Chains A and B, each alone.
Chain A
Amino acid sequence: MRAMVATALKGLRANSLRFALTAASVVLGVAFVAGSFVFTDTINARFETLFTDVYAGVDATVRPDGQGAGGPNGDSFDEAVLDEVLAVDGVEAAAGGVGGFAQLIAADGSPIGGQGPPTLGFSWTDEAGLNLLRIDGGNGRAPVAADEVAIDVATAESQDLGVGDTVTIQTVNGSGEYTIVGLAGFGTEDNLAGATLTAFELTEAQRVFDLEGRYTTIDVIAADGVSAEALVDGLSASLDGDAGGSLEVVTGEQQTQEELDDITTGLGFMTNALLAFAGIALFVGAFVIQNTFRITVAQRTRELALLRALGAGRGQVTGVVLLEALIIGVLASAVGVGAGIGLAEGVKAVMDAVGIGLPDGPLTIEPRTVVVAMAVGLVVTVFSALLPARRAALVAPIQAMGEPVARTTRRSLRTRTVVGFSLSGAGAAGLAAGLAASNGTTLLMVGIGAVGLFLGASTLAPLFAAPVARVLSVPLRGISGTLARENTIRQPRRTASTASALMIGVALVALVSIVASSIKASVTDTLEQDVAAELVLSTSASLEGVSPVAVDELRSIDELSAVSPILTGTATVAGEDVNVAGVDPATIAQVYNIDATIDLAAIGDGLVVAEGVAEARGWEVGDMVAVDYGPERVSTEVVGTYDGSVLGNYLISADTFTGRVGDGPISLTLARLADGVELEPGRAAAEQALAGFPNIDVETKSETVAAAQAEVDQLVALFSGLLGLALIIALLGIANTLALSIVERTREIGLLRAVGFSRRQIRSMIRLEAVMTAVFGAIMGVAIGTAIGFGVVSSLADQGLGSFGFPGTQLVVWVVAAAVAGVVAAIGPARKAARLNMLDAIAHS
């Protein structure tokens, strides 16, 4: 056993640089895993501290039923409830408040904040124990008059605003001028995770939020000796039946927890993004690791055979290789955990820099983080080494005597073909099933299907390596090209698995480009063919949407013949969570060509369903389906079907929407110009009418198309940037494989040099090998990415993705880029090969 350990250690030392490069891919993957855990735990811990602190004084909260932690769009109740609350036994103090959307407008008329974190408005609470906001000495005072506000310290600093300054604030009710009298912090923080906070005096707050005489919450302090639970019970009992029985009382603790959950799910996208990239990095890394072991095992065939000849069992030989993997896994994972902590710190710094400030404090590193990240790194490394380890065990003692021979038998080729096709088939099936299904397991199925497809493709890849290399080398002239081709073909498995690592990254990039260009094509088609309106109105802060007051303003001008708001939200239709759109029955037909079986003016309180969905679900016009709008379940009639569009699969009337779904945002308003009104004057008139709503953008159709395309392009750039990581790992893999194969070919390269190959010809041979491998991987990637992309796009056809966009040029660019990357990956190995000492090659026979 000791001999085995010594052999393993020797193997590691002999190839330490190669293994370090291999380990790099494990380090990256583990870093992302650890980073996402540390980041999530830190957010949770910091906000928990902050919220617990801020809500420390609140023992109970009264709020509209079923609302959850109060979003600004929630329901409200009569302010008279406060008197009842105060009359309940055990209540020491209570204060009512309102909240809603409040947008600060900069001096140049542009909205401040709101790109991501929300812009929240509150009423100022005088009751010290119940006030979430805090104004430190020197930062002014609380707002007491209607034209006074306090804003958060962070926003004041970033906008260079101070006490005494005047500022415009826009709410659902239009805009007004206010004097800043105080700069407030949220608990110990200057700000709440980047949100812009504005506090009004109570009556003014009720006015601007359109909630005169109403509250959205009442916070309560318990009298001495009264527990929060007892207080909640008492309040519930006496408020029962008030406000139509639609009130709910929860403990301060629960309210805190719900607020906390809201924030952490809001920030959870970072966690998911980090984990997704961890998965991709590890998957790609697994190929690189496997290949490194495959090659080092091949190079040590003699040594392993000698071990076998001296009596080592198969298991022991496997053990040597796995032990090496274990050691690399442990080292790389440990480095990865460290890097992950750095990554979490970095992400936090970036979020701070872009204004999503997180509360200060140390990073939270749970033992779980270290254990899971280490385990993931170890499992991936050892698992990747399994196949090479098994091959090592198959080395026959006799091979100690001769040259390592790569044997490919007919049988193993047949097995490979069968396994490869089965895996690809299963993967494709999983993918198709995942895409066809419309419930929660979808993404997982798609992911597993894609992994299956990748594994299947990489299993089949060795069969294609030779033909592809032959085709690729057709334009190559000269002996370097011939040799490069033959070297690429000589170890098809090695070439294939090196290329497979690149394939994954390229496939994902191709997929993103295809989906993106399909989205662009669909948006363009829809806007150009289906939208009859000339003007499109929307807000940059999509959370808030266009104010209904703004819609009324637009309707009052002559230049527009029709103004049609479209509301979007979610509901549960027959048990499935779906997006629903609320359309204005009177005007929708004038701005949007919807091909429906009924006149939408007659939609009433019924439901119009996309044809595809109706067909899939077996619904006929006249059927009743159960629709859950938040708290209420309503049996709704399917009154018609339509051809489906970007509006989604379910249409209801705007009235039904506001009545049932709640005040969902008007995400889009379409306006039609009156006869004889030119585009620019019409737009100018609309803009003038919206002077009080600077957060609304008025765009022409072509501007909207351009803006949508730019947005998609930005997303693509972001994704491609992140996927670049997978490509870098794959390139490391190419460099690694080449460098290792050069060690194997020392004598051959020396021989070539002796008979007259110049250094330059050696370099160009190695470079061509890298390029062929890279292009092979890129072509496979583009093929698979296109296949998956086609599946994704067609499965989303009834969600408005009507057009399949094939970004041909872009894909060609990716293949060319892969070739260039291959050249870069070959720099080191090529230089090394060119510098090989000829005599080493010749003398050591």
Chain B
Amino acid sequence: MSTITAPLATEEANGISAPPAHDMAAVMIGGVKIYGMGETEVRALDGVDAGFRQGHFTAIMGPSGSGKSTLLHAMAGLDTLDRGSVFIGDVELGTLNDRKLTTLRRDKLGFIFQAFNLVPTLSARENILLPLSIAGRRPEFDWFDHVVATVGLGDRLDHRPSELSGGQQQRVAAARALVSRPEIIFADEPSGNLDSTSGAELLDFMRRAVNEMGRTIVMVTHDPVAAGYADRVVFLADGVVVDELSDPTPDSVLDRMKVLGGPS
């Protein structure tokens, strides 16, 4: 498996960026995000260059406050950068208005958040189909059945989120992220709230989505075990990429974290 990081056109971060290489599903170039002003100014992202290759599973790690969520939100078009640019495929997010951005999120991106992933008034099935319903697209039933079977939710589909366990809820969210065949799935500590068994089930599922369905996944995590499911780990600290690791195992991740210092 290739583990190329893609710091493309770094020097031109503030100018018009060159389009990313073809096999990149998503790229951030010179990403800067500043919160607050003057005394209270926080540089959540301080010039981040990162690329996420198609069909790869990337984990993002780093100490608390290092900018992981900020990076993910900016990549996913949920938040805007103060400087730099984000490409999904060859579309630069900064050039899109809210309506186009919304459509892009709906059709090309999937999300799994740490908690509160589901609309409480909708059943599991309706939640899974939500992106398709919003787009007014008909679900492909074979694909739906396949996804549901993979997640292992068959008999819980007509239950509301409040009637599902935390792990089941996260799996519903994962199924939703997959069912519309998005190009990239972003996940922010998806297993953070789960016990180790449920967490393992979810991560296993994500791994299979990459292997068997060819998805691209970017996942934020604090957990070396979770990171071990990925193809590559990117380490953040104080808003910059400080290191990366290919074909990680929980042990190699732990070692690298020790070198980088501080608990994550």
Which residues of A line the B interface, CB within 8 A?
Answer: 478-479, 482-483, 486-487, 489-490, 747-748, 751-761, 838-839, 842-843, 845
Contact = CB atoms under 8 A, between A and B. Distances in A.
B134 A757 contact: yes
A86 B178 CA distance: 111
Contacts of A759: 98-99, 102
Given A479-B133, A842-B113, A753 B102 contact: yes
B29 to A, nearest CB: 22
Nearest to A752: B119
A751 B188 CA distance: 13
Nearest to A758: B102
A486 B119 CA distance: 10
> Which 8 pairs between the two chains have the least Cβ-Cβ distance?
A756-B106, A486-B121, A479-B133, A845-B115, A758-B102, A756-B134, A756-B105, A747-B116
Contact of B116 (A478, A486, A760, A845): A845
Interface string B105-120: 1110001011111111
Interface in B93-140: 98-99, 102-103, 105-107, 111, 113-122, 126, 130-131, 133-136
Given A479-B130, A756-B131, A839 B102 contact: no
Contact of B134 (A479, A486, A487, A747): A479
Contact of A842 (B78, B99, B107, B135): B78
A843 B69 contact: yes
B204 interface: no
A751 B131 contact: no
B79 interface: yes
Contacts of A752: 119, 130, 134
B111 A754 contact: yes
A756 B116 contact: no
Interface in B146-191: 176, 188
B103 A756 contact: yes
Nearest to B122: A486
A754 B122 CA distance: 16
B78 A748 contact: no
Nearest to A753: B102
Nearest to B79: A839
A845 B126 CA distance: 22
A487 B121 contact: yes
Contact of B102 (A479, A748, A757): A757
A839 B111 CA distance: 13
Nearest to B107: A756
Contacts of A487: 121
A489 B111 CA distance: 28
A478 B113 contact: no
Output the residue of B105, B114, B115, B126 with the most chain A CB within 10 A.
Answer: B105
A489 B120 CA distance: 12
Given A754-B76, A839-B79, 16 more contacts: A478-B133, A478-B136, A482-B133, A748-B116, A755-B176, A756-B105, A756-B107, A756-B131, A757-B102, A757-B106, A757-B134, A758-B98, A758-B99, A838-B78, A842-B73, A845-B114
Interface string B206-217: 000000000000
A346 to B, nearest CB: 46
A755 B122 contact: no
Contacts of A842: 73, 78, 113, 116, 188
Contacts of A755: 105-106, 111, 130-131, 134, 176
A368 B157 CA distance: 65
Contacts of B107: 756
Contact of A756 (B73, B113, B122, B135): B135
27 contacts: A478-B136, A479-B130, A482-B122, A482-B126, A483-B119, A483-B121, A486-B122, A748-B119, A751-B116, A752-B130, A753-B102, A754-B76, A754-B78, A754-B105, A754-B111, A754-B113, A755-B134, A756-B134, A757-B102, A758-B103, A759-B98, A838-B78, A838-B79, A842-B73, A843-B69, A845-B113, A845-B116
A761 B135 CA distance: 11
Output the residue of A479, A489, A753 with the most chain B CB within 10 A.
Answer: A479
B254 to A, nearest CB: 27
A761 B126 CA distance: 17
B121 A490 contact: yes
Contacts of B133: 478-479, 482
B35 to A, nearest CB: 11
Contacts of B106: 755-757
B126 A839 contact: no
A478 B103 CA distance: 16
A406 to B, nearest CB: 10
B74 to A, nearest CB: 10
A526 to B, nearest CB: 56
A491 to B, nearest CB: 10
A419 B118 CA distance: 37
A479 B127 CA distance: 11
Contacts of B136: 478
Interface string B67-79: 0010001001011
B70 to A, nearest CB: 9
Given A756-B107, A758-B102, A839 B78 contact: yes
B87 to A, nearest CB: 19
A756 B122 CA distance: 16
A750 to B, nearest CB: 9
Contacts of B120: 490, 748
A479 B119 CA distance: 12
A490 B121 CA distance: 7
Nearest to A843: B69
Contacts of A747: 116
Interface in B46-91: 69, 73, 76, 78-79
A493 to B, nearest CB: 16
B4 to A, nearest CB: 30
B117 A751 contact: yes
Nearest to A844: B116
A755 B135 CA distance: 10
Contacts of B116: 747-748, 751, 842, 845
Contacts of A845: 113-116
B194 to A, nearest CB: 14
Nearest to B129: A479
A296 B189 CA distance: 32
Nearest to A756: B106
Contacts of A482: 122, 126, 133
Nearest to A486: B121
Contacts of A839: 73, 78-79
Nearest to B108: A756
Contacts of A760: 99
Contacts of A757: 102, 106, 134
B119 A761 contact: no
Interface in B14-36: none
Contacts of B118: 751
A756 B177 CA distance: 12
A173 B107 CA distance: 90
Nearest to A841: B116
B68 to A, nearest CB: 12
A641 to B, nearest CB: 65
B130 to A, nearest CB: 6
Given A753-B102, A754-B105, A756-B102, A483 B79 contact: no
A838 to B, nearest CB: 5
A478 B137 CA distance: 10
A486 B99 CA distance: 25
Output the residue of B98, B99, B116, B117 with the most chain A CB within 10 A.
Answer: B116
Contacts of A838: 78-79
Nearest to A834: B98
Nearest to B118: A751
